[in-house]
Amino acid sequence: MAKCAFLGLGVMGYPMAGHLKAAGHDVTVYNRTHAKAEKWSSEHGGGNGATPRAAAEGAEFVMACVGNDDDLRSVCLGEDGAFASMAEGSVFVDHTTVSAAVTRELYAAAAEKGISFVDAPISGGQAGAENGALSIMCGGDQAVYDRAEPVMDAYAKICRRIGESGAGQITKMCNQIAIAGLVQGLSEALHFAEKAGLDGRAVVEVISQGAAGSWQMANRYETMLDDHFDHGFAVDWMRKDLGICLSTANDTGASLPVTALVDQFYKDVQKLGGGRWDTSSLIKRLRALG
């Protein structure tokens, strides 16, 4: 078993750190709101640090799941950052969805200190984190990934190295691109059924068994029909991710017309006051249009 630190105890990080502790690892946590770190420690019995540096001291593996590029830099760099106390040969595993550019920046900064860095964004939502069944897509050196993978297994359904540093983040962008189109398509199908006077549940019962079936359909159609949108990844975070997708596409020359369109639809949802609604709330926009 390994000595670990976990930085960031949001809806994903909190249960992920718990799975590490339950698997027998020695876990110290850090959260910007320290009361949440103390709450985690009281529930799971692990330690907590007042700063990322304090939490990471002596850890073989430091995991992070924070908000965005700047949040990740803040927990890694500077006098109170994790890199300041991590020992040579230790591994930083980043589960945040961030740009491949900041991943490569921090990979290089870690290497200067003899620290290894794996980008390991996750998919599966809050339920996946709570159930220890996340999909983890990784970038970084093969030998380092081989060391980190058994530790990540505490909360993984599947964990794969896709390529060199940044490859995990690019793969997560593929994930978000695919989700955006699927949720918009599902929203339009359910809205169309409603306007035509059909029973949405009966429609989905039939079409979900054919080529239209998807995870989004199986897990979100009922709450969409019931107008409940507090069951998953928030619109604000999805727009952050789609912004990274579109920026990267601009850099690489990729064409993402559907992604760009759905990003604007999510902007409309934010204007409706739905920034904290889950991503399936695209149907709210269609209903608002009449």
Q: Tell me the per-residue pLDDT of 216-251, one tens digit each, with 9 for 90 and over.
A: 999 999 999 999 999 778 999 999 999 999 999 999
Residue 184: predicted pLDDT? 98
How many residues in the chain? 290
Residue 232: predicted pLDDT? 73
The pair of structure tokens assigned to 278 is 């889950």
The pair of structure tokens assigned to 201 is 């549940």
Q: What is the residue-averaged pLDDT of the chain? A: 97
Residue range 110-134: average pLDDT? 96
Residue with tokens 């190295």: 161
**How would you classify the pairing of strands 26-30 and 47-48?**
parallel
CATH 1.10.1040.10 placement within the chain: 170-289
> Residue 28, SS3?
strand
Residue range 3-9: average pLDDT? 98
- Give the burial string for 251-275 (b: 16+ CB within 10 Å, else e): eeeeebeebeebbebbebbeeeebb
Residue 148: predicted pLDDT? 98
* DSSP conformational letter for 272: T
Residue range 129-155: average pLDDT? 98
Which superfamily does CATH assign the domain made up of 3-164 to?
Answer: NAD(P)-binding Rossmann-like Domain (3.40.50.720)
How many helices, marked H, and strands, marked E, lie in the chain?
A: 13, 9
Q: Quote the pTM value.
A: 0.93
195 counts as catalytic: no
**How would you classify the pairing of strands 91-94 and 116-119?**
parallel
Indicate whether 197 pLDDT > 90.
Answer: yes
Residue range 171-184: average pLDDT? 97
Residue range 12-24: average pLDDT? 98
Provide CB contacts within 8 A for 185, sequence distance 6+: none
- Is residue 241 within 8 A of residue 203, CB to CB? The reply is no
Architecture of domain 170-289: Orthogonal Bundle (1.10)
Q: Which of 172, 267, 271, 284 is catalytic?
A: 172
**How would you classify the pairing of strands 122-123 and 134-139?**
antiparallel
Quote the CA–CA distance of 46 and 36 in Å, as a whole number. 13
Quote the CA–CA distance of 80 and 102 in Å, as a whole number. 19
Quote the CA–CA distance of 86 and 55 in Å, as a whole number. 10
Residue range 36-47: average pLDDT? 97
Residue range 59-82: average pLDDT? 98
Quote the CA–CA distance of 134 and 124 in Å, as a whole number. 5
CATH 3.40.50.720 placement within the chain: 3-164
Residue 180 binned pLDDT confidence (cut-offs 50, 70, 90): very high
Quote the CA–CA distance of 209 and 165 in Å, as a whole number. 39
